[in-house]
Chain A
Amino acid sequence: MAKENPAKEQAAKDKRRWRVSRRGFLIGLGVVGGGLALGWRFGLPAARLGIANGLEEGGAPGGAEVSPDLWFEVNPDNTVSLYLMKVEMGQGVHTALAQLAAEELELPFENLQVIPASTARGIEDGFGTGGSTTISSLFTPLREGAATLRLMLQAKAAEKWSVEPDNLVAMNGSFFKQANPEETMTYAEAAQGVSDWEIPKDKPELKGIREFAVIGQPMQRVDFTEKLTGRAVYGYDARVDGMLYGAVARPPRFTATLKQASEGTARAVKGVVDVVIEDDFAGVVATSRGAAYRGLEALELDWDLGETYQQADIDALTQVRPGEGVVVQKEGRVAAKLKSATSIRAEYHSPMAAHAHLEPQAALVEVRSDRVIAQVSTQSPQLVRDEIAEALKRKKEDVEVTATYLGGGFGRRLNVEVAVEAARLSQAIGKPVHIGWNRSEEFRHGYVRPPTHSVLEAALDETGKIQAIRHELASGDVAFPFLPAFLSTIFGADFGAWRGGRFHYEGIENREVLSQRVKLPLKTGWWRGLGLLANTFAIESFMDELAHASGQDALEFRLRHLSASDHNQRLKRVLESAAEAAAWGTTLAEGRAHGIACSTDTKTVCAQVAEVSIEESKVRVHKITTAIDPGLIVNPDGVKAQTQGAIVFGLSSTFFEKLTIQDSQFAPQNFDTYPLITMKETPEIEVILRQSGEEPFGMGEPPLGPVAAAVANAVFALTGQRLRSLPLTLS
């Protein structure tokens, strides 16, 4: 197992300065003991790369004003640290990234430590951690960087030994001479005392997948000892001497705005240290969280309540308006085919839902005269830095944000409110302030998964093959609220809303998908998988309806609509694997039935078979058998864990989760009125891993896709009842 994250000791390290070198690499200056720090940026616009190359010629004195996206440091104890701004929120990325790096470094896995960087280290990562993209986006650059580092060390080792670099072999963090394997030099020794580092001219050759020794192994997670002993620091756990606790006044409705605020008797509340009232913002700082909340209650707040909305209003708005959507998929001629044939039509709904990450959002912010230091549970440390800088009118460079471990993300922590709140309070009172939301604030004052409505229509030919199919979907916003307004005009349709909403069955000649925007009076946004769950529920339930309507087996029906393309063949393989493992088509025990569904997300294909029964007039899921192909697999056990977790997450939505409003307020305040799935309702889950190709695709979200449809389809097979709304409820 790799070392525990020594972030705390590292936090004292100075901001490193960098010299730009060849191929966009950056060499760190002033490394203690003459070691080596090697960083790089990717995705630089061509113009800036040009500047970087120009600087190399001129040799910008004292380091240029650039900073890497991530970097390695070779430490004196022959470990290597990898600094990067990818957040560990449970998905195991630090482990998988360590595998990628260790592979090309020829370093024992346990000698590689991943260190989550803070914005203070100059790292830029505007994207944040999300969208199941971490491993796929870093797969090649990280290995190239690691290989480059190894070659640089190899060159210096060769110099020290006065031999040709080609005569050396790298293994287990050391070099040895081919001619004399007895004599070794560690990486740290090779780096010792060197200051004239040079980047190799050409890109290094990377290992082929057959040569992998670390990638593809089921590595143990690197963060568990820390987490299971209570030492790991999450945003809610962040502490600093002299810190106080803050709480912020919340509107009684999502439509309300603060007209006027005064201190009332808040200062008289025991433990209250200060009251902060600015424009539309009122908060209390106290010696304990309890006192801060009691202080809030003693404020005098005058709210303009705004309009009154009920759940029925939201439902009425969430409707497909036929023909009004933006086309997001169009193959062949759907309209003509649907007109000329008798078609089958069905509608599906999904409700709003909460993220319910178990650690509510939290931040510790210390506003000082020279800089601002923040520790935040966030998926987007750079965004948080920018937001704090803007709110406090400080320079971005003076704001340091460290993303702590996160107690779940699920899209909610791509945009957090709490950091700016703590920053405002800290700024006002001149002391470090911690704010951790309570559960009621989480349920009522954030953005939620949008409600959706899908209308599907298809025509079959006389052999039961789909001639044409159309999906019209209406959804509240997912990505749009977070993008600059002009982008919504360019995109036309919200890519978050239609994620998973297109037909991946390439054997259907005529298919069309239209996505329309539902403007709601409340905030909706990112949620694990975005539209994937709702859209797959609609499409895969509908596929099942078509199969049954024409008397075809649900598996065969799907297979016959697949093409010979690589993607469709991968889909075929997972469908067949899941079906075979679940013994699809065989007779099950009395009172049990199977349902099947599949999805594609970030090119990862996944199929699931659900086995259900009815107990005490409720659906009980006994087993989910799933086959998943995420391309190349970096950490098989990590992929398994993500698959199991996503299925349970999806089952929670399938059976329990429904967020409603009343009088312009979200109804639930805690889990008593918004229960989550527990171990009692969790079925057996069998995961079959299928691997393909030479690059990894996404894993954090894709297996969430099929589960609701697989269960609903099984319920139909068992009872003849077609359930077209989530959460599933038998009538």
Chain B
Amino acid sequence: MDLKINDQFYSSQAEPSDMLLWVIRDELGLTGTKFGCGAGICGACTIHVDGVAMRSCVTPAAAAEGKAITTVEGLATTQDDSERLHPVQEAFIEAQVPQCAWCMNGQMMTALAFLQANPKPSDDEITAAMGNNYCRCGCYVRIKVAVARAAELMEQANG
């Protein structure tokens, strides 16, 4: 089947019932999307399908056919030959959020989909939206700061 990931087309040998996570990581080699539980609990594998945050470890490939998938590799853009990070990535660096960073794909992809739907969230709304993503290193205090900051940066970027 054909999959559109970060505006590029990939042809995959996967069965429609194969979980997207393994198609994206193992077959197509985009390893920025991480595996933590395989059961939809930890959030490490979060991707966007048509802009909606999905847990790719429990999402069959068939569910993304004909749709636009975004992974963490698709967040930054290139301008004048240099990389421009996405405001969410910038905010996570500014707040020096990660430790091991294994969960951070999921944190950022979850945050981005949330902020697109709710550009000016309250603190409690951030906690509710981010409250189902595990970070074993315990970066929650900084994740919260970064998500609030990302909201500001995204607003500025959108002028």
Contacts and interface: CB of A to CB of B under 8 A. Distances in A.
Q: How large is the interface on A (under 10, 10 to 19, 20 to 34, 35 or more residues)?
A: 35 or more
B72 A230 contact: yes
A225 B41 contact: no
B39 A234 contact: no
A408 B102 contact: yes
Contact of B137 (A223, A229, A290, A408): A408
A586 interface: no
Interface stretch (B25-33, B48-56, B112-120): B25-33
Contact of A289 (B26, B33, B36, B138): B26
A228 B101 contact: yes
Most chain A CB atoms below 10 A, which of B31, B32, B44, B100: B100
Given A641-B96, A678-B132, A436 B137 contact: no
A115 B42 CA distance: 31
A25 interface: no
A676 interface: yes
B141 A682 contact: yes
A227 B134 contact: no
Interface in B10-65: 18, 22, 25-27, 29-39, 41-42, 44
B136 A357 contact: yes
Contacts of B38: 438-439, 670
B142 interface: yes
Nearest to A670: B39
A637 B76 CA distance: 26
Given A227-B101, A644-B141, A671-B42, A439 B32 contact: no
A91 B136 CA distance: 12
B151 interface: no
Given A228-B92, A231-B32, A679 B131 contact: yes
Contacts of B18: 288, 290
A221 B31 contact: no
Interface in A206-228: 220-221, 223-225, 227-228
Given A92-B99, A436-B35, A648 B140 contact: yes
Given A229-B32, A678-B133, A288 B26 contact: yes
A641 B142 contact: yes
B58 to A, nearest CB: 12
B93 A645 contact: no
Contact of A679 (B34, B96, B140): B140
B42 A358 contact: yes
B104 interface: yes
Contacts of A237: 25, 31
Contacts of A224: 92-93, 96, 98, 101
Given A230-B31, A289-B26, A679-B131, A637 B136 contact: no
Contacts of A695: none
Contacts of B134: 358, 671, 676, 678
A489 B93 CA distance: 49
A281 interface: no
Contacts of B133: 678-679
A83 interface: no
Contacts of A671: 37, 39, 41-42, 134
Nearest to A224: B93
B89 to A, nearest CB: 5
Contacts of A90: 98-101, 137
A359 interface: yes
Contacts of B136: 356-358, 408, 410, 649, 676
Interface string A633-655: 00001000110111111001000
A110 to B, nearest CB: 15
A290 B72 CA distance: 24
A685 interface: yes
Give the secondary structure class of B's interface: loop
A239 interface: yes
A447 interface: no
Contacts of A92: 99
Nearest to A439: B37
Contacts of A670: 37-39, 41
A406 interface: yes
B108 A407 contact: no
B28 to A, nearest CB: 11
A439 B39 contact: yes
A616 interface: no
Contact of B73 (A229, A245, A290, A407): A229
A230 B32 contact: yes
Nearest to B27: A288
Contacts of A557: none
B143 A679 contact: yes
A91 B100 CA distance: 7
Interface string A650-680: 0010000000000000000011100011111
Contact of B93 (A225, A637, A646, A684): A225
A290 B99 contact: no
A228 B31 contact: no
A407 B100 CA distance: 5
Interface in B118-146: 127-128, 130-144
Contacts of A225: 85, 93
A479 interface: no
Q: List the 5 closest pairs (A to B, CB-CB), nearest first.
A: A230-B32, A648-B138, A407-B102, A90-B100, A90-B99
23 contacts: A90-B137, A220-B93, A227-B104, A229-B73, A229-B83, A230-B30, A230-B72, A234-B102, A237-B31, A245-B26, A288-B22, A289-B22, A357-B100, A357-B102, A358-B42, A358-B134, A358-B135, A439-B36, A645-B139, A649-B136, A671-B134, A676-B134, A679-B143
Given A230-B32, A649-B138, A670-B39, 4 more contacts: A405-B101, A407-B34, A408-B136, A677-B140
